[in-house]
Chains A and B, each alone.
Chain A
Amino acid sequence: MVSRDKAGQPLTPTVFHVLLSLRDGPIHGYAVMKRVEDDSGMSMGPGTIYGALQRLVDAGWVTEDQAGDDDPRRGRVFSMTREGRAALSREAERITRLAESVAVRRMLPDGPRT
């Protein structure tokens, strides 16, 4: 489980994108890598992805299970826990607040001006 003090800290970009990739349900590590690439444009390697997944599993934000018998591919599937989803929401809110604070200072080249 994640300690209370950690719950308020900003997430690393890698952890944020790995959690975001798990939003729609359990997927394999390779699918995590491809989704992170699609979402963020960052090409991360297997070491970074599985390293982050290990941290997340140890923190209780992600669970890992063996793929079912009907899954043609070997290996584990990863899914987000309630704590992980809460951490992702908190981080999304934090990033949104940051973006808003930039917008109100009229520092965005395009987009909304408030």
Chain B
Amino acid sequence: MKQEARGSSWIRRLSVRLYRLALLRYPGAFRRRYGQEMVDSFTRLLDEAAPRGPLAMASVWLRVALDLACPLPGPVAPSPRQWATTRALSGTLQEAARSLRRSPGFTALIVAVLGVGIALNVTILAVVDAYLVQALPYPESEGLVEVRPAVAAVNTANSDDVFEQAVSWHLFGVTLVGDRPSEVVLGARVTPDFFPVFGAQPALGRAFGDDEDGPSVAVISHGLWARRYGSDPGILGRSIQALSGESEGGRVTFTVIGVLPADFWHVNGTRTSWYPCPRAGPCTWGASGRTHPGTARSVS
């Protein structure tokens, strides 16, 4: 559900930008007069279509694409000559449609080429939008940096020269077992300040304390909580059995101490459970840091 909402919101933002760009095909005076209201109308059409799924959103795009392809309406009451022009234009369009029907192979090729071209453009724009235009989905994200190699974060965090806080993590697979069907989820061991660095607070329960060590406690994602545990508010304090190659004997039991908010997202959005890093084994697969205000990126 979270991923669907994120996807819809992402498509909506991109669609509105593309539509705003498409409005350039209209005369400047018309755009200045009605452009913002047209964007608002388009956005409302999208919002109404979003709950009905991607096909409904695509139909909105088809509607506005046809609209954009047409010239602006002519006079309110055309003269006989203007009517004749309209009929001539209509005849030309009908002839074009007939010739396309006569050559279905050629028509299919053109549609395929257009489809691939549009899909490529949308993909490229989406990637550019996600990686270069949009800010990271964290509060005050301008101070967040990824640190490589990750072990440097652990060392640098102690020096306090560059980072206010630095955290690192270690990924591993966990198989949840117990009274429900087994399920493999992606887990992460994280250092204690992990959630504060990303500006996240559990929606339910709490984050890790400094004295917690190893996979005896866990914070789970909103998605896992909703999907596997039916959004049960009594999840806090529940012991959950799991299998993991990272622990001795391969079997581990952890207590759920928190559930993250639905909009928390980390790196690739697939992580569903977090555990404290054991003191004996540093977590050095990945690292991030929050720099002191004013610290230049080149320094960090």
- Which A residues contact B (CB, under 8 angstroms)? 2, 5-7, 9-12, 14-15, 28-30, 33, 43-56, 59, 61, 73-76, 87
Contacts and interface: CB of A to CB of B under 8 A. Distances in A.
Nearest to B86: A12
Interface string B61-74: 00110111010111
B75 interface: yes
Nearest to A44: B67
A59 to B, nearest CB: 5
B6 to A, nearest CB: 26
A10 B77 contact: yes
Interface in B46-104: 63-64, 66-68, 70, 72-80, 83, 86
Contacts, number: 95
Interface residues of B, number: 28
Contacts of A49: 41
A48 B63 CA distance: 11
B76 A6 contact: yes
Contact of B75 (A55, A76, A87): A55
11 contacts: A5-B79, A12-B86, A29-B38, A45-B66, A47-B38, A47-B67, A47-B72, A51-B73, A54-B30, A54-B33, A55-B74
B215 to A, nearest CB: 50
A7 B63 contact: no
A85 to B, nearest CB: 14
Contact of B40 (A2, A9, A75): A75
Given A2-B77, A46-B64, 19 more contacts: A2-B76, A6-B76, A9-B79, A10-B83, A29-B37, A29-B41, A30-B44, A45-B66, A46-B34, A46-B41, A47-B38, A47-B70, A48-B72, A53-B34, A55-B74, A55-B76, A73-B40, A74-B40, A75-B36
Interface string B134-163: 000000000000000000000000000000
Contact of A56 (B34, B76, B80): B76
B interface majority secondary structure? helix
Contacts of B75: 6, 55, 59
A46 B33 CA distance: 13
A51 B41 contact: no
Interface string B176-212: 0000000000000000000000000000000000000
Contacts of A76: 37
Contact of B73 (A14, A61, A87): A14
